[in-house]
Amino acid sequence: MEPWLLGPPPEYSVDLHKPDEFHHTTPEQEQELGKKQGLTSDGTHRDVCSQQAGNHQWRTVRAFKERLQQYYHTRAALAPGQIRRAQSLALDICTEIQGFLHSRLPDMPLGEMNLGGSLLDDLQVVSADHACLLVPLQLEASLWRLVPGEETLLTHPLHWMVRRVNLEYFPRGRSYWDRYLVGGYLSAEAVVNMFSKAVMETINWPSISSTLDCLVRPVLGGPDLKLEIRPLDEFGAETGDEPLFVSMLPLLREGDVVLSAQTELTSPWVNAWHLSLYPWENQRLSQLDTADGGRRRQTLKILKAVCRLNPALRPLEAAPLSNLILHLSDGESDWSESSLHARFQQCITELIGYLENGALHSYFKPAVNLLSGLSEDQVDQMGFMLYCSITEPEILLI
């Protein structure tokens, strides 16, 4: 039976034998009586209002949790089959290039080529459209020294140099890589130019395209070593599917230090090698997630997808997002699946603060500002979009 069919509760019962003035109260008396009985100004019981507000908030949080998981599975995460196809195609290209270099330049001391980057580490989002082919150069430890960026004239923590040493005992020419010396240092630009001529401009790509049943062609004119691969149908025509881009990345390894020849990042310094922080960042995120069963990498993938699919946020690359989560992990321990929505919204709030300050410092190299490459207009557009999402986070999940 509904409550209102039982009659008024005892405290509100009416005694018909009392004078009329007890049945006609003023608005002020009604309001005072309501306060005593826990009523709001419209006569609704406060407990009921609180419960209704709590239920609404719970439904809103639950809906956003479900929307976030849906977004991750439908927009951010890649299908395993898509990843395998892209990896297989990139490995085929790797095999072809390595075989060509071994036959054409047998004296070049190279390590085993392999895939690296987000496609291999399951951090690629939206589409499996790019892969990285790592080409390790082998240097003689007694002839070369890796010089940290802080110790060079450049004083940039990410711009390292590779100095030729012991020339008085081992004159120039003893090392294969001496031919790419500029001013006593191994030139990253000279190495990239060599691979551009030896691989991009020399390999018979139509022949490889026929072997792999896809169209393979170099992307010439840019600063990096990049190949474009397009699938072909049974008649040899392009299918219209998204191409896969494979970038060759010459690099040097010494312990946990990885230096890459990426002239687009170190220009105009022809001798500078880029210190890659990606291996450290990815390893740290994996360690943290493994230790507590957290969802930091999943949060990163959602943020990457949000930025890639939103034109205003597209200039924000993976490195700032990874470091954002690493910084937040120092003070926030709960990265469980049930808290994924809270951590996502916290990342957005933190990111707004970094944009307002104009700086997000690298977790491993605090002197590096990961937002320094953004223009003022880009920061304004990103800040506005993220600020709007504070009250309506769903606008990011388009």
Indicate whether 35 pLDDT > 90. Answer: no
Least confident of 21-30, 66-75, 163-172, 358-367: 21-30
Find the distance separating the first CA and the last CA of the chain, reported in whole Å. Answer: 46
State the fold for domain 279-396.
Poly(a)-polymerase, middle domain (1.10.1410)
Q: What is the CATH number of domain 80-276?
A: 3.30.460.90
Largest CA distance in the chain: 120
3-class secondary structure per residue, 154-195: CCCCCEEEEEECCCCCCCCCCCHHHHHEECCEECHHHHHHHH
Please report where in the chains the tokens 């551009």 appear, as a residue: 196
> Residues 156-200: pLDDT tens digits?
999 999 999 999 999 999 999 999 999 999 999 999 999 999 999
What pLDDT is stored for residue 12 in this prediction? 37
Average pLDDT, the chain: 88
Predicted confidence band of residue 52 (pLDDT cuts 50, 70, 90):
low
Structure tokens at 170: 């081992």
Predicted confidence band of residue 11 (pLDDT cuts 50, 70, 90):
very low
Give CA–CA dist 256/122, Å, rounded: 21
Domain map (residue ranges) of the chain:
80-276, 279-396
Predicted confidence band of residue 398 (pLDDT cuts 50, 70, 90):
confident
DSSP 221: S
Identical fold for domains 80-276 and 279-396, yes or no, is: no
